[in-house]
Amino acid sequence: MKPAGKHPRLPQRPHAALRHLRAADPLLARAIERVGAFKLPTSRPATFYSLCRAIIGQQLSTTVAGAIASRFVTLCGEGEQVAPKSVLKLSDEQLRAVGLSGAKTRSVRSLAEFWQREKLTHERLEQMHDDELIDYLTQVKGIGPWTVKMILIFSLRRPDVMPHEDLGVRVGIRKIHRMKEMPTPKEAIAIAEKWAPYRSVASWYCWQVIPMKEFD
């Protein structure tokens, strides 16, 4: 295990990152110009609830995921301080009733058991390196690399995460780089090499260009 310590975090206005990306990739520079300022949502700690929220959001629109998460929080009755013990007291039927699929019900329950067994805290997660955290949390049934990468980007604000598993990121790459075919995950990784060490920022711009017709 690598030594614990502080890890780089993205500021809300990552000027150095944008300078690097513009110089490294002229096509991405055009997207940056069209999209405008980099704006991540307000950061939240990498808590048990934030991981549950990431599980809930798998393969769902933001609106649908938000509605289910809201019902999930109400069911647990603790606001966003949802604790593993609260989840473990609930039946599968109760979790399914707020909109969780059978697979997500099992995942949330597995996460609750893992969090309790490992005596996890958000401080411990913050101390882990990116790859270390991916290896660690993907031990939980139903948590894959994509889910952990969303935590790394949106909760931990790590600057150099490449979610090549994300269809939206690959759609964005296709549009930005004017590709006829959707890039494979392997091709996305290769294209993103020039973006390091700011692949999280570049990925955010990939998401932003998806609805923009001028990139079609």
Catalytic residues, by residue number, are 166
User: Are 44 and 50 contacting, i.e. CB atoms less than 8 angstroms apart?
Assistant: yes
Q: How many CB atoms lie within 10 A of CB 210?
A: 14
Distance CA 24, CA 194 (A): 6
Q: Which amino acid is at 110?
A: S
Tokens for 75, please give them.
């069911």
User: Are 163 and 206 contacting, i.e. CB atoms less than 8 angstroms apart?
Assistant: no
User: Are 189 and 8 contacting, i.e. CB atoms less than 8 angstroms apart?
Assistant: no
